[in-house]
Amino acid sequence: MIVTSTKRLIISKVTLNDAPFFVELMNTPSWLKYIGDRNIKSVKDAKSHLKNGILKSYQESGYGFYKVAQKIEPDKAIGIVGLVKRKELEHTDIGFGFLPDYEGKGFGFESSIAIMGLAKNIFKLEKVCAITNPKNKSSIHLLEKLDFSFEKKVKPFDDGKELLLFAKDLL
Ligand SMILES: CC(C)(COP(=O)(O)OP(=O)(O)OC[C@H]1O[C@@H](n2cnc3c(N)ncnc32)[C@H](O)[C@@H]1OP(=O)(O)O)[C@@H](O)C(=O)NCCC(=O)NCCS
């Protein structure tokens, strides 16, 4: 189901059929380096991860992560972008991740602008935050282009790793 589209991209809801794509995405070098190894090594792992994560988020929050494809190749997922309400953070956060061949082409910015539009106009969020590894220059650069401001350093998860918290008011 298509959620929104941009000049070059189609953004749609994830289904269990996308499990093989998630195995690929969640094991790319930058994902493993900056987001971490979530131990999604098989289609079975990915299906269970999707059921307990993104698909549950659609039901509980009305939003979640979406897959991104190019209009010129609509059946090939190239990345994900979306919103997630985590119990560890006060506000909903935006996230993004693309396959290596599709980084550095402006797709992160283009898809995130669309998601921020949904966050404000459809989901009526007053504030969106973002967390990122301090060494993830591409992510920080993208957040700054999206007009997010650095708020503070946080350690939201059990692994105790320090992340940077960015935020943007939508009011
Ligand atoms: C972080 C990440 C999502 C950024 O995505 P991205 O698409 O590369 O980011 P951007 O949209 O900012 O585009 C990057 C560059 O593409 C360039 N670009 C190339 N062709 C372009 C085009 N046709 N239109 C627009 N920009 C284009 C831009 O100039 C931009 O660089 P600049 O801002 O210095 O000018 C991506 O690097 C990624 O998936 N990383 C791995 C996963 C990850 O770390 N996720 C974040 C976790 S917090």
* Sheet of 149-154, strands arranged across: 2-5, 9-13, 65-70, 73-84, 93-98, 127-132, 163-169, 149-154
Q: Report the residue among 25, 102, 142 best suited for mutation to probe ligand 1: largest number of ligand atoms under 8 A from its CB.
A: 142
Mean pLDDT per block of 10 residues along the chain (171 residues) reads: 98 98 98 96 98 97 98 98 96 98 98 98 97 98 98 94 97 84
Q: Is 81 helix (H, G, I), strand (E, B) or coil?
A: strand
CATH class held by domain 2-124: alpha beta
pLDDT attached to residue 109: 98
Task: From 15, 25, 21, select the one nearest 98 (Cα to Cα).
Answer: 25
pLDDT attached to residue 138: 98
Q: Which residues line ligand 1 (CB under 6 A)?
A: 30-31, 34-35, 96-98, 103-109, 132, 136, 138-139, 141-142, 145
Whole-angstrom distance, CA of residue 144 vs CA of residue 89? 20
| Residue bearing tokens 């790793």 | 161
Answer positive or negative: Cα dihedral of 116, 117, 123, 124. Answer: positive
Contact call for residues 115 and 92 (beta carbons, < 8 A): no
Domain boundaries, the chain: 2-124
**Closest ligand 1 atom number to CA of residue 107:** 7
pLDDT attached to residue 171: 84
pLDDT attached to residue 95: 98
Determine the distance from the C-alpha atom of residue 106 to the mean position of all C-alpha atoms in its chain, rounded to a whole number: 15
**Closest ligand 1 atom number to CA of residue 130:** 48
Dist. CA 127 → ligand 1 center (Å): 23
Q: What is the dihedral of CA 57, 31, 162, 157, to 10 degrees?
A: 30
